[in-house]
């Protein structure tokens, strides 16, 4: 079993829809949680960065972390065709000696105009 599980999709939604992307994880040491967006043939672009449990909002994006359930989510409001990409969750422990991010496999999102 992988440490981080993410539904690969593809997920297809109409423009303007609310999108919900999710990851579950098994390692209780994870404290830092990130969402990256990756366009084809480009590197991952950091969207959201959160520490421990709670919500964080940035424009149309909201990240939620529920450490008790080992579950994180990214919500995209008023989705646009330009949001079509692969979304990767990533996480790491607080251990300052270990900085490696553990990634989910990515969810491919298609927003239809």
Partner 1 sequence: GAGVSQSPSNKVTEKGKDVELRCDPISGHTALYWYRQSLGQGLEFLIYFQGNSAPDKSGLPSDRFSAERTGGSVSTLTIQRTQQEDSAVYLCASSHRDSEVYSNQPQHFGDGTRLSIL
Residues at the interface with partner 1 (CB under 8 A): 31-32, 34, 36, 41-46, 49, 51, 88, 90, 92, 94, 96-106
Dihedral angle, C-alpha 49, 22, 45, 42, nearest 10 °: 160
Tokens 């999102």 found at: 109
Q: Which is nearer to partner 1, 45 or 66 (CB)?
A: 45
Question: To the nearest whole angstrom, how small is the minimum distance from the Cβ of residue 49 to partner 1?
Answer: 4
- Alpha carbons 103 and 105: distance in angstroms, whole number: 6
Question: To the nearest whole angstrom, how small is the minimum distance from the Cβ of residue 102 to partner 1?
Answer: 8
């Amino acid at each position: 079993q992988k440490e981080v599980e993410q539904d690969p999709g593809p997920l297809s939604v109409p423009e303007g829809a609310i999108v919900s992307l999710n990851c579950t994880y098994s390692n209780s040491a994870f404290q830092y949680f990130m969402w990256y967006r990756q366009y084809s043939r480009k590197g991952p672009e950091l969207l959201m960065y959160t520490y421990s449990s709670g919500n964080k909002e940035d424009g149309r994006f909201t990240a939620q972390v529920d450490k008790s359930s080992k579950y994180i989510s990214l919500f995209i409001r008023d989705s646009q065709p330009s949001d079509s990409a692969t979304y990767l969750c990533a996480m790491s422990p607080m251990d300052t000696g270990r900085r490696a991010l553990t990634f989910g496999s990515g969810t491919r999102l298609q927003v239809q105009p």
